[in-house]
Amino acid sequence: MSTKVRKFVDNCVVCRTSKGASGAVQAQMHPIQKPSAAFQVIHMDITGKMGTSNDQHTLAALKRTVHLFGTPVQIIVDGGREFLGEFKTYCDRGVQEK
């Protein structure tokens, strides 16, 4: 019976149109101003699997970048959980390599 109900709901126009949207919420795109010098603005995103200690790897990558190129004015991330915790604390303290 549950198969018949599911099939009916899947094919019901009223059911499909009244069902709320699912999935990720799409944000409005907005332009990013071009920086006046290299590495003033950096963009970070995680691709692939990094294991269980994602935040430590992410923070280590940022520290290497800051050490090599200096402190950026702005860091743009996608809001993934790798950019929370220690990473966010480091950024909130001014992203200064000592």
Digit-coded pLDDT (tens) for 65-84:
989 999 898 888 887 888 88
Nearest one of 80, 31, 82 to 54, comparing CA atoms: 82
**Residue 98 pLDDT > 60, yes or no?**
no
49-82 burial string, b = 16+ CB within 10 Å, else e?
eeeeebbeebbeebeebbeeeeebeebebeeeeb
Q: Which residue has the higher pLDDT, 38 or 46?
A: 38
Q: Which residue has the higher pLDDT, 97 or 1?
A: 1
Q: Supply the pLDDT for residue 27.
A: 74
The band of 22, judged by pLDDT with boundaries at 50, 70 and 90, is: low
**Residue 53 pLDDT > 70, yes or no?**
no
**Tokens representing residue 33 in the block:** 């101003």
Q: Residue 1 CA to chain centroid, in angstroms?
A: 42
| Span 33-53, average pLDDT | 81
CA distance 40 to 72: 4
The band of 64, judged by pLDDT with boundaries at 50, 70 and 90, is: very high
CA distance 15 to 88: 42
